[in-house]
């Protein structure tokens, strides 16, 4: 619903655009997302934010903006990353491709504590994801802040146009929210946002879209699909909840999932089809192809299980949508095709047969929604587990032997975290195979075996992540047990990579 004086966010294809919308809503203001070419449709905004994006401003097909129209709204404008670079060019400056790439943490040093930087620390951690930088500055530009190397990372052009090179919308920019808020305070009165209206709209939307149709709902025992199933029940939808055991699950996972749903009084049906998935995946090592095989098989299984189904409900969240770049107007890069965004599903979506009420939300918002629906905390706090399961924790080909090793190692690692009280402090943790053989020695005998990698990250919304400084004792116990108990492994590694540039999973 477009309101007068809302905040209009123009999407240049950044992985984080929807996060900007969300942050603005968290700050209490109504926000809507638009494609830059639809600028004529943004009505009467109170402020405008231009997102980042994967293109360079010098690329032939770089997305552009109708600058005259933008100025004509006469409201404060903030350009983030690509948005800042584009504004600098529009005002007569330039952008250069830099050989110094900047991904992950950087230090922001504001020149003054006024306006955008009121109340911001003298040195503040921000999160970067770019390689281009602003070069020549136009006459009307002022530098508001630099990074640790003295490069300008925040500009103001005239009185109402602002630019920042970092991403204030990600949680790893420690004072990002405050900076966004300071920007919004430069606008006049903005339209407010209320979460209760949002929930009511969501349930009403489901009822309207579904009517009395038969819905098949994929449930995995994970947070998103559990919240979805309970939400559909609440909306009185005629549904059958299907749990697919594709043979890529963790140790004892099927039993755990069935017992959780039993506890919540939601009936689910298990379809055991590990033979089908593993035979279709046989010999395939390419990560994107593996994802597509799995995603398409999911649809086959759902459709076969519920012959008279008219709609498919999935617990898709925003990160799945953006990383798969599956919105047809999207300018985002395809990072990976999430299993729930394969072509078959997009075709069904075209026919209006896919229901994804959570697709605008992030994990922590879904957890909040789940709590308000009365779902037990231990279910809501489970670490996320990807739909393609252990296939995305096994780079290259997948087979029974590799899956056995991953399951055993994962189980040892997770049990160590739980026993030491670290499971709930970590956002997601798991073990994955590194299918590289190296020489070792076991019982005086040469071993030539694979390595296992442990990964533990903190994140809020899966869009950015940092590795966790786990106590050495946990790593020591995990490594000792794996090396002694798991056949086929002679090395244990711990992954110390942030996202970006790494991702959370290994494929």
Ligand X SMILES: O=c1[nH]c(=O)c2[nH+]cn([C@@H]3O[C@H](COP(=O)(O)O)[C@@H](O)[C@H]3O)c2[nH]1
Ligand Y SMILES: NC(=O)CC[C@H](N)C(=O)O
Number of residues this chain uses to bind Mg ion (CB under 5 A):
3
Q: In 299-444, which ranges are E strands?
A: 311-313, 354-355, 428-442
Residue 357 in the binding site for ligand ATP (CB under 6 A): no
- Which has the closest alpha carbon to 19: 49, 42, 45? 49
Stretch that binds Mg ion, among 77-85, 222-230, 368-376, 404-412 (CB under 5 A): 222-230
Counting residues that bind ligand Y (by CB under 6 A) gives 12
273 or 462, CB closer to ligand X? 462
Q: Are strands 95-110 and 47-50 parallel, antiparallel or unpaired?
A: unpaired
Closest among 104, 86, 229 to 164, alpha carbons compared: 86
Question: Does 236 show up as a binding residue in the annotation?
Answer: no
Cα(315)–Cα(226) distance, integer angstroms: 8
* Residue recorded with tokens 């040093």: 109
Place of tokens 């090179």: 165
b (16+ CB within 10 A) / e for 194-221: eeeeeeeebeeebeebbeeeebbbbbbb
Question: How far apart (Å, rounded) are the C-alpha atoms in residues 79 and 167?
Answer: 10
When CB distances are held under 5 to 8 angstroms depending on the partner's kind, the choice from Mg ion, ligand ATP, ligand X, none that residue 247 binds is none
Q: Which residue spans within 354-486 are E strands per DSSP?
A: 354-355, 428-442, 445-458, 466-467
Q: How far is the CB of 188 from ligand X (least distance, A)?
A: 38
Residue of this chain nearest to ligand Y (CB atom): 52
Record the tokens describing residue 384, joined without a space: 């996320």
Q: Which stretch binds ligand Y (CB under 6 A): 28-36, 38-46, 130-138, 441-449?
A: 130-138
Residue 224 binds ligand ATP (CB under 6 A): yes
218, 247, 357, 370: residue in contact with ligand ATP (rule CB under 6 A): 218
Which span sits near Mg ion by CB under 5 A: 51-59, 144-152, 218-226, 366-374? 218-226
Q: Using alpha carbons, select from 392, 384, 220 the residue that is nearest to residue 301.
A: 220
Opening angle at CA 485, ends 483 and 489, nearest 5: 45
Q: What mask of x and - would describe binding to Mg ion in positions 291 to 320, judged by CB under 5 A?
A: ------------------------------
Among positions 36, 45, 46, 52, the unique one binding ligand Y when judged by CB under 6 A: 52
350 tagged catalytic: no
Least distance from C-beta 388 to ligand X, angstroms? 5
CA 246 – CA 252 distance, rounded (Å): 13
| Window 119 to 148, contacts with Mg ion (CB under 5 A) | none
Residues of this chain, 361-420, that bind ligand X according to CB under 6 A: 384, 386-388, 392
Q: Which does 315 bind (CB under 5 to 8 A by kind): ligand Y, Mg ion, ligand ATP, none?
A: ligand ATP
| Residue 225 known to bind ligand | yes
Q: Which of 24, 106, 219, 232 binds ligand ATP (CB under 6 A)?
A: 219
Q: Cβ 498 to ligand Y, closest distance in Å?
A: 15
Burial degree of 475 (CB within 10 A; 0-12, 13-18, 19+): middle
C-alpha 484 chain-centroid distance: 36
d(CA 236, CA 225): 16
Cβ of 404: how many Cβ atoms within 10 Å?
14
Q: Which of 91, 88, 90, 84 is nearest to 130 (CA)?
A: 84
Query: Alpha helices, DSSP H only, in 54-171?
Result: 67-72, 82-90
Pairwise CA distance, residues 336 & 343, whole Å: 13
Print the binding letters for residues 329-368 with ligand X: x by CB under 6 A, - otherwise: ---------xx-----------------------------
Q: For residue 156, give the H/E element and its range.
A: strand 152-157
**Residue 167 designated active-site:** yes
Regarding 55 and contact with ligand Y (CB under 6 A), the answer is yes
> Which of 267, 176, 283, 270 has its CA nearest to residue 229?
267
331 binds ligand Y (CB under 6 A): no
223 is in an annotated binding site: yes
Please check if 372 is assigned to a binding site. Answer: no
User: Which positions from 155 through 214 interact with ligand X, judged by CB under 6 A?
Assistant: none
Site residue total, ligand X (CB under 6 A) = 16
The reply on whether position 133 binds ligand ATP by CB under 6 A is: no
Phi, psi (degrees; rounded to nearest 5) at 76: -60, 140
Q: Which residue of the set 6, 130, 167, 172 is catalytic?
A: 167
Q: List binders of Mg ion among 364-393 (CB under 5 A).
A: 385
- Candidate residues 85, 154, 171, 225; the one interacting with ligand ATP per rule CB under 6 A: 225
> What 8-state DSSP symbol labels residue 37?
G
Please check if 226 is assigned to a binding site. Answer: yes
* 3 state SS of 270: strand
Question: Rule CB under 6 A: is residue 505 a binding residue for ligand X?
Answer: yes
Q: Residue 220 interacts with Mg ion (CB under 5 A)?
A: yes
Tell whether residue 36 is a contact of ligand X (CB under 6 A).
no
- Whether 169 is catalytic: yes
| 82 counts as binding ligand Y under rule CB under 6 A | yes
Q: Supply the residues annotated as catalytic.
A: 81, 167, 169
Q: Which residues are annotated as a binding site for ATP?
A: 220-226
Which residues contact ligand Y by CB under 6 A? 14, 52-56, 81-82, 129-132
Which residues contact ligand ATP by CB under 6 A? 218-220, 222-225, 242-244, 314-316, 320, 340, 384-387
């Amino acid at each position: 619903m477009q309101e007068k004086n809302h905040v209009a966010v123009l999407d240049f294809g950044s992985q984080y655009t929807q996060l900007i919308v969300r942050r603005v809503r968290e700050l209490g203001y109504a926000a809507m997302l638009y494609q830059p070419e639809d600028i004529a449709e943004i009505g009467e905004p109170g402020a405008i934010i231009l997102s980042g994006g994967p293109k360079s401003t010098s690329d032939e097909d770089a997305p552009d903006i109708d600058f005259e129209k933008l100025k004509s709204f006469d409201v404060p404008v903030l350009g983030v990353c690509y948005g800042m670079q584009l504004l600098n060019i529009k005002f007569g400056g330039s952008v250069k491709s830099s050989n110094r790439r900047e991904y992950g943490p950087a230090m922001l040093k504001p020149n003054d504590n006024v306006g955008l930087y009121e109340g911001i620390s003298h040195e503040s951690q921000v999160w970067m994801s770019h390689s281009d930088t602003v070069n020549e500055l136009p006459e009307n530009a002022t530098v508001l802040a630099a990074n640790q190397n003295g490069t300008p990372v925040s500009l103001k052009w005239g009185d109402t146009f602002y630019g920042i090179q970092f991403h204030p919308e990600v949680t790893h920019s420690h004072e990002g929210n405050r900076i966004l808020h300071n920007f919004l305070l430069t606008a006049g009165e903005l339209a407010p946002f209320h979460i209760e209206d949002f929930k009511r709209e969501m349930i009403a939307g489901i009822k309207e879209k579904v009517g009395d149709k038969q819905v098949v709902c994929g449930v995995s025992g994970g947070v998103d699909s559990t919240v979805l199933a309970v939400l559909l029940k609440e909306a009185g939808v005629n549904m059958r909840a299907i749990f697919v055991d594709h043979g890529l699950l963790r140790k004892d996972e099927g039993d755990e999932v069935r017992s959780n749903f039993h506890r919540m009084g939601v009936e689910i049906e298990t379809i055991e089809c590990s033979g089908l998935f593993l035979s279709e995946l046989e010999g395939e090592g390419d990560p994107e192809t593996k994802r597509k095989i799995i995603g398409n098989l999911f649809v086959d299984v759902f459709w076969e299980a519920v012959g008279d189904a008219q709609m498919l409900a999935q617990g898709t969240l925003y990160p799945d949508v953006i990383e798969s770049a599956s919105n047809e107007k999207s300018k985002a890069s395809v990072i990976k095709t999430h299993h729930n965004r394969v072509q078959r599903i997009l075709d069904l979506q075209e026919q209006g047969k896919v229901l994804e009420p959570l697709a605008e939300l992030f994990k922590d918002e879904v957890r909040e929604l789940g709590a308000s629906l009365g779902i037990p905390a231990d279910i809501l706090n489970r670490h996320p587990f990807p739909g393609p399961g252990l296939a995305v924790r096994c780079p290259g080909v997948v087979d029974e032997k590799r899956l056995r090793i991953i399951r055993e190692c994962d189980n040892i690692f997770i049990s160590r975290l739980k026993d030491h009280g670290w499971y709930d402090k970590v956002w997601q943790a798991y073990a994955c195979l590194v299918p590289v053989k190296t020489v070792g020695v076991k019982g005086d005998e040469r071993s030539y075996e694979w390595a296992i990698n442990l990964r533990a990250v903190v994140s809020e919304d899966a869009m950015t992540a940092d590795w966790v400084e786990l106590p050495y004792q946990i790593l020591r116990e995990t490594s000792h047990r794996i090396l002694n108990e798991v056949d086929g492994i002679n090395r244990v590694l711990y992954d110390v990579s942030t996202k970006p540039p790494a991702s959370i999973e290994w494929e």
